[in-house]
Structure 1
């Protein structure tokens, strides 16, 4: 019987990937329930422990209990470890141990790594994992040190080093967890250019994807970028600048958000909140005080998300680019989709449409259900569901008020978003087979 279950689990990389993430969440839940993980007087239920573990493993940042005040240093360390494993991928972390033990990475493990890192083929997958670990640890170490140096101005050196490490890892992995208490995130540093700029840089580096980072590191030698990197970088720049401009336009007269700030602080806050929705979960302003137009803009930015192979979620920047280019091609009456003098294959378009419709359907269905179970406005519910599915971690204040069924649904959305809707479909669905025949072509009227 055990052999059959083992064969079923290992039958496909997507299934192994989904089950692996579920097991990590289960282990994290048990660790967070230990008395040593929570502070005296805090009664952490199993559901809240599971929610926190899921949020950390899925690098989301939605929290039902405050990380800084509810958990001990041990509990915070568990959360940070879950964030690291969730951000890099458990197979990536497992491969590191294989390197240390000088054990060869098997073909099955390479296939799971390929699925985890969203790569098209197995060529150079182990070499890419080495780069992932090197880049991630280097960036996290630099970010942690810089955060610690800044925090030493506000707290003792020991505490500053711990806070620096926690936030360096959390921000780079686009996790959104913080230790400042009272669900404040980085609101105390809204006018601090150092903290804002450092956060923006770490978020962008974490959301670009490790393939893009490798391309950028090799650029001085190779003097060229892959098509994927060009599209990811272009869309990141467009969404970052465009989002910041729109946030400034919508909020600069809002006395509850950007209004009281100076021009420089307004620009920094707008830029941070343009970058953060695409999976980071960091904020320096009260999002519930934003105008509805801005909140809806943040929903769209969250839905698009980060780039493939990164620590972020969403339908991904490249998916959005392919959909946009497909629409433009149809409007112009062209049959080919061309970008940077390269023609895209039709299967890329079909996959982009499938990912988007699957994601949109999940968000719509869960939003309708939570609109019934939760006593909150539609905008708050839609924002929460989108944030959970895209592993963004931003909230309008609904997370702490969620009912039991609501918390379970949001946990499921975080899991779907981290693993990926297509990966889950392949994990639980039957193995697709190649059809032996084609039907005659038919025509329907569109539009």
Structure 2
């Protein structure tokens, strides 16, 4: 059986899961080569694999410093993993197929549809072209805006490389930086409006999702013309940025720029302009909630997703209002969507608490510290209080599995492991169960 006949036997969800695994494997091997590290010895298996997983899953958690440990070749490998992982391996593969002038088959279109969470298969190639153009244009604009600042501080050659690296890392919501072990991510630029606005803009551009931007490109800001999903994503984004920023600003001794940046980056980006270790436990708990929520469907962000959180909130409201249907803005949210949202939430909650307790038990870590690292990995965020690099190999492997799960997605993993069953003509009798 050749590879093509094997692929035809796999579902689109299984192809997505497998593609990320192959990307991680390839990245690990490249990072283990002598050219990938500063000392010319190559990385050991664990740091190479951890970095490859973190980059491919656009997380940003690291066990070695990106700037001082990896060579320029190693940094380039990491950047390519971030770019491919952010857009999705399937998206890049289909893009290459289109670029070579070859026909995109039905299986490729179906896989692409699932990869970017498109609602229909029609126009998927046109959507792909929009994704590539939007990504290239946004990342190029971000690099141009960052270039003057980094060129001033590091020279034009190194500054140019840093501008490109941080622009792609921010748009893909990865959080990798080249500031060095003493740079503290972007803490040196905490008061720089240009760097703050550019990085925040790139993070939000990637986190809103390509389907959202495609809708906005057609309907602009005509609210009633936008799709129901786009309106929900925009509303949730505004709330999840404004409210936490206000809380951070009033509860912590930080500037307005730092409060706003922390609110934006916590969703899934992983950059920081302040020392997270100095935050109070209350602020860390808010960070955990934001990191678990994540960005929009079909975006470069991970997490539970804003639409999933919204569906659960509206389901709660419908129960409180004694309504039979889950309703919002003159629309009814399908019961199947609510069921999926609930399943995703429970899966994330079980993994979050289970691994947090396991890390606390294995490495004797404080529970709040373990919860920050676990939510950062599960939500593919990358923010860290410095615990990840101190963890045992067992705990680091658990974080790698969480990053992989968080990037692939709960529903994709479920559908990849189980074939959809055909509907049966009969239903079992109800079993009465009292809850409350």
Shift of 1:44: 2.1
- Report if the CA contact (8 A) 1:42-1:70 is conserved: no
Partner of 2:34 in structure 1?
35
Match of residue 397, structure 1, among 383, 386, 392: 386
In the TM superposition, 1:254-269 aligns within 5 A as 258=254, 266-269=255-258
Which SS does the other structure have where 2:304 is aligned? Answer: coil
1:364-421 CA-to-partner distances (Å, cap 9, x unmatched) read 2212221221131111111111110110001111111121111111111000000012
In the TM superposition, 1:419-438 aligns within 5 A as 419-438=408-427
Partner of 2:148 in structure 1?
149
In the TM superposition, 1:10-409 aligns within 5 A as 10-40=9-39, 44-182=43-181, 184-220=184-220, 224-252=225-253, 258=254, 266-409=255-398
Unaligned stretches of 5+ residues in structure 2: none
1:222-255 CA-to-partner distances (Å, cap 9, x unmatched) read 8721111000000000110011011112213xxx
- Report if the CA contact (8 A) 1:9-1:16 is conserved: no
Shift of 1:306: 0.4
Unaligned stretches of 5+ residues in structure 1: 253-257, 259-265
- Report if the CA contact (8 A) 2:33-2:42 is conserved: no
Separation in 2 of the partners of 1:126 and 1:370?
44
Separation in 2 of the partners of 1:314 and 1:118?
14
Which SS does the other structure have where 1:371 is aligned? Answer: helix
Aligned residue pair count: 434
Shift of 1:3: 5.0
TM-score if structure 2 supplies the norm length?
A: 0.96
Which SS does the other structure have where 1:152 is aligned? Answer: helix
Which SS does the other structure have where 1:350 is aligned? Answer: helix
Shift of 1:74: 0.8
Further displaced range: 422-431 or 138-147: 422-431
Separation in 2 of the partners of 1:5 and 1:41?
38
- Report if the CA contact (8 A) 2:13-2:413 is conserved: yes
- Report if the CA contact (8 A) 1:325-1:337 is conserved: yes
- Report if the CA contact (8 A) 2:352-2:378 is conserved: yes
Separation in 2 of the partners of 1:441 and 1:114?
36
1:14-70 CA-to-partner distances (Å, cap 9, x unmatched) read 111101000000000011111111101766211110000000000000000111111
Which SS does the other structure have where 1:197 is aligned? Answer: helix
Separation in 2 of the partners of 1:63 and 1:48?
8
Distance change >3 Å, CA 138–CA 52, structure 1 → 2: same
- Report if the CA contact (8 A) 2:55-2:79 is conserved: yes
| Cα RMSD after superposing both structures | 1.7
Distance change >3 Å, CA 362–CA 432, structure 1 → 2: farther
